[in-house]
Amino acid sequence: MIFKLTEEQELLRKTVRDFAEKEIAPKAAEMDEKEEYDWDLWGKMAEMGLSGVPYPDEYEGAGMDNISYAIAVEELSRVCASSGVLVSAHTSLCAWPIYAFGTEEQKQKYLVPLANGEKIGAMGLTEPGAGSDAGSLKTTAVLDGDEYVLDGSKIFITNGYYADIYVIIAATDRALKHRGISAFVVEKGTPGFSFGKKEHKLGIRASATYELVFENCRIPKENILGKEGEGFKVIMKTLDGGRIGIAAQALGIAQGAYESALNYSKIREQFGKPISANQGIQWMLADMATRIEAARLLVYQAAWLKDNNESYSKQAAMAKLYAAETAMWVTTKAVQIYGGYGYTREYPVERMMRDAKITEIYEGTSEVQRIVIAASVLK
């Protein structure tokens, strides 16, 4: 075992960190406050190739591995969790299923502009009555001649409204439950495809979360990903990978909050000495650092397994579960170390604590991750 990043991975980390600190960090608080993303940043990220990190050069990706991708999401999230999830949802939830299940034609048409960042991607799975329970989806896709007709709605869609390309999961045969669902690629602007309300959230407030509405939305038959009825497989595989992205996001949030608190503890003086001289604070910092390192190893391990074509479902669930809970725990402690200031918007840890919570919820709650892990260990 070699626990050492490659030179490329190190340079990528340095590059993304540099970019995130210079370009994103100064805007993070304002974007959070206004609940609006600064889309110029996306242009800059795309120019650097952060829109297609793990996809091959032939599809205009960077041709890097999934560890590199995880590092990129981690470093973006370290200063701005909304930027982290923008890239994660785009890369893991939209580009990936097209890469893994799409035809060559679909890849040229959709993956290429996603990977080079010309277009933004999103995925529509969750509905008011169905999240992880994909078998009870109410959105339907009915084949009518050369077209599928989509009807229904999707909620809580990350990158919704701003994304150009959507991977939409819909039931082609509701009687078959999870064996009757399929995945489709739907472009923004398709007649019958509109956007409902924008969510106002506790955290990741700069990330756009929208409702998608399909009313007699007709898409070409060839926009199906894989075969009819393969949707469940597409979802499960996609979410396995997505979990690595969200785990990396959680890891980045934790790292950012930890570093802020660490620095603050060294400069904040009470009773004539820096608060870091108090053992109570020292133990918090030690636990924060340890949990973050453990989370990082899990995240990179899951990414490594994926890179090496080994089964990564269990490790991805473990990484997401542990990193998300670490993010919540670490950010809460970080606010505590800042004391009253930490509860205000003067310092970033308040935002980070709000941002952390979602990582325990989306792309499978912590409870769902435990179900996945338990199913695997009891097999």
List, by residue number, the catalytic residues. Answer: 363
Number of residues engaging another protein in binding (CB under 8 A):
25
CA 173 to chain centre: 29
Number of H helices, E strands in the chain: 13, 10
Interface pick for another protein out of 11, 236, 294, 374 (rule CB under 8 A) = 11
CA angle 113, 212, 50 (to 5 degrees): 30
Contact pattern for another protein over residues 154 through 193, marking x by CB under 8 A: ----------------------------------------
**Is 68 or 126 the residue whose CB approaches another protein more closely?**
68
Contact pattern for another protein over residues 12 through 31, marking x by CB under 8 A: x-xx--xx------------
Contacts of 285 (CB under 8 A, 6+ apart): 258, 261, 262, 265, 276, 337
The three-state secondary structure class of 166 is: strand
CB of 38 to another protein, least distance (A): 15
Instruction: Tell whether residue 367 is a contact of another protein (CB under 8 A).
Output: no
Instruction: Tell whether residue 49 is a contact of another protein (CB under 8 A).
Output: yes
What is the C-alpha to C-alpha distance for residues 323 and 253, in angstroms, rounded to an integer? 9
Asked if residues 254 and 356 have their Cβ atoms less than 8 Å apart, the reply is yes
Instruction: Tell whether residue 341 is a contact of another protein (CB under 8 A).
Output: yes
Q: 275 to each of 267, 283, 332, 348, 358, how far by Cα in Å?
A: 8, 12, 17, 19, 30
Stretch that binds another protein, among 61-69, 118-126, 192-200, 280-288 (CB under 8 A): 61-69
Interface pick for another protein out of 5, 25, 48, 277 (rule CB under 8 A) = 48
CB of 117 to another protein, least distance (A): 11
Instruction: Tell whether residue 59 is a contact of another protein (CB under 8 A).
Output: no
CB of 7 to another protein, least distance (A): 6
Instruction: Tell whether residue 53 is a contact of another protein (CB under 8 A).
Output: yes
Instruction: Tell whether residue 8 is a contact of another protein (CB under 8 A).
Output: yes
Task: Tell me, letter by letter, the H, E, C secondary structure of 273-318.
Answer: EEHHHCHHHHHHHHHHHHHHHHHHHHHHHHHHHHHCCCCCHHHHHH
* Angle in degrees, 0-180, between the axes of helices 7-19 and 39-48, rounded to the nearest 10: 160
CB of 66 to another protein, least distance (A): 13
Interface pick for another protein out of 7, 105, 146, 310 (rule CB under 8 A) = 7
**Is 47 or 215 the residue whose CB approaches another protein more closely?**
47
- 87: number of Cβ within 10 Å: 27
CB of 263 to another protein, least distance (A): 10
Site for another protein in 69-88 (CB under 8 A): 72
Stretch that binds another protein, among 55-63, 131-139, 202-210, 286-294 (CB under 8 A): 55-63
Asked if residues 130 and 91 have their Cβ atoms less than 8 Å apart, the reply is no
**Is 215 or 269 the residue whose CB approaches another protein more closely?**
269
What is the C-alpha to C-alpha distance for residues 39 and 109, in angstroms, rounded to an integer? 23
Asked if residues 266 and 274 have their Cβ atoms less than 8 Å apart, the reply is yes
Instruction: Tell whether residue 33 is a contact of another protein (CB under 8 A).
Output: no
Interface pick for another protein out of 1, 2, 175, 267 (rule CB under 8 A) = 267
Q: Give me the phi and psi of 162, to 5 degrees please.
A: -85, -25
Interface pick for another protein out of 28, 41, 50, 217 (rule CB under 8 A) = 50
Instruction: Tell whether residue 345 is a contact of another protein (CB under 8 A).
Output: no
Interface pick for another protein out of 24, 31, 64, 212 (rule CB under 8 A) = 64
What is the C-alpha to C-alpha distance for residues 377 and 328, in angstroms, rounded to an integer? 25
Task: Tell me, letter by letter, the H, E, C secondary structure of 94-159.
Answer: HHHHHHHHCCHHHHHHHHHHHHCCCCCEEEECCECCECCCHHHCCCEEEEECCEEEEEEEEEEEEC
Q: Which residues bind another protein (CB under 8 A)?
A: 7-8, 10-12, 14-15, 18-19, 47-50, 52-53, 57, 62-64, 68, 72, 267-268, 341, 346
